[in-house]
Amino acid sequence: MPAVFLDRDSLDRGDLDFSALEHALPGLRYYPATAPSEIAARIAEAEVVISNKVLLDAAAIAQAPHLRLICVAATGVNNVDLAAAAARAITVCNCRGYGTAAVVQHVFALLLSLMTRLPEYQQAVRAGRWQQAAQFCLLDFPIRELAGKTLGIIGYGELGQSVARIAEAFGMRVLIAQRPGTVDEQNGRVPLPLLLPQVDVLSLHCPLTPETRGLIGGWELALMRRDAILINTARGGLVDEALLADALRQGALGGAGIDVLSLEPPTRGNPLLAPDIPNLIVTPHSAWGSRESRQRMIEQLVENVSGYYSGAPTRVVG
């Protein structure tokens, strides 16, 4: 069963154990990364292709006559033409829930850093301001508590539910947004126009779809409180980045913690990378990247391959 992993370096830093995957796919060939011009040659003889972000569009799939299984080393499968795969009866499997603990941890790392003004206080110490203070402490930057604040969650799957549990442990009130793109009332969920003015924190955990692209734009930002905080560890395209940057500069929003951008890596720049934006923390799509999370992904790839060859495929998409 010729098999290739097209972009191993997208998840491995030399700290993962691939032995179980190699046992499931004897002779598995690894590539650190694969450029678009290299895809066709590398998958031409493959029966199994593993890809994190390498694009497997209709043209690429058409050039792989032996392809039977595509394993996406991620949850999102927007890099695979699912219709072209289905037309060839190619099974597509993804990975799910592997990074929940890491992402939830990152959500609260961003939120706590913003609420406690951790970056500003750290910089103040490095600049010698504490050493020169007249009092025993510095309180130059307003600190807020999570207890008693309201958290709004958009996307109430495994990640959203896990964030809600931790928020409640901090003493927060949790509101769940009605699913984007729906008009029918959902039990216990709040339509976005009613939710946004109530929240002190808004955390995004929904996929990027035609219905959610640009979900948080100028109108939505204007509905939020001036001291509210936006956390996005989901997908960059959910937020209008230029308008978010402007809102932060103008003091129309209290802060933002962003782990994802609309183009990654941001080789052509991004409005949120400007150096003059206050109360903003940007991390490089690293929320999911604990070693434990990445090893769980390898375990799920093994399960997906083994399930396919045993006639009981798991985590099938489409």
Residue 139 has pLDDT above 70, yes or no: yes
In a domain? residue 316: no
207 and 155 inside one domain: yes
118 and 93 inside one domain: no
118 and 158 inside one domain: yes
Task: Find the CATH number of the domain harbouring 87.
Answer: 3.40.50.720
C-alpha span between 121 and 28 (Å, rounded): 49
78 and 156 inside one domain: no
pLDDT at 111: 98
C-alpha span between 138 and 91 (Å, rounded): 59
54 and 120 inside one domain: no
The residue-averaged pLDDT of 166-190 equals: 87
C-alpha span between 64 and 68 (Å, rounded): 9
| pLDDT tens per residue across span 73-104 | 999 898 999 999 999 999 999 999 999 999 99
Handedness of CA 10, 286, 257, 121 (dihedral sign): negative
Q: Beta-carbon neighbour count of residue 138 at 10 Å?
A: 14
Task: Please pick, among 145, 211, 264, 292, the residue that the annotation labels catalytic.
Answer: 264
Residue 184 has pLDDT above 70, yes or no: no
Q: Categorize the per-residue pLDDT at 36 as very low, low, confident or very high, splitting at 50, 70 and 90.
A: very high
- Pairwise pLDDT comparison (207 vs 308), residue with the higher score: 308
| pLDDT tens per residue across span 185-219 | 667 899 999 999 999 999 999 988 889 999 999 99
| pLDDT tens per residue across span 267-276 | 999 999 999 9
36 and 10 inside one domain: yes
In a domain? residue 66: yes
Identify whether 129 is a catalytic site residue: no
79 neighbors 317 (Cβ within 8 angstroms): no
Identify whether 205 is a catalytic site residue: no
164 and 278 inside one domain: yes
297 and 273 inside one domain: no
Residue 180 has pLDDT above 80, yes or no: no
pLDDT at 318: 80
3-5 vs 29-30, strand pairing mode: parallel
In a domain? residue 244: yes
150-154 vs 189-190, strand pairing mode: unpaired
pLDDT at 224: 98
In a domain? residue 126: yes
In a domain? residue 114: yes
78 and 120 inside one domain: no
pLDDT at 185: 65
In a domain? residue 318: no
- Residue 73 DSSP one-character state: S
**Residue 121 corresponds to which tokens in the numbers above?**
């206080």
Q: Categorize the per-residue pLDDT at 166 as very low, low, confident or very high, splitting at 50, 70 and 90.
A: very high
Give pTM, 2 decimals.
0.92
In a domain? residue 317: no
174 and 296 inside one domain: no
Task: Please pick, among 22, 173, 285, 299, the residue that the annotation labels catalytic.
Answer: 285
In a domain? residue 300: yes
257 and 122 inside one domain: yes
Task: Please pick, among 235, 294, 296, 315, the residue that the annotation labels catalytic.
Answer: 235
Identify whether 235 is a catalytic site residue: yes
pLDDT at 147: 98
| Number of domains composing the chain | 2
Domain that holds residue 115: 100-282
156 and 236 inside one domain: yes
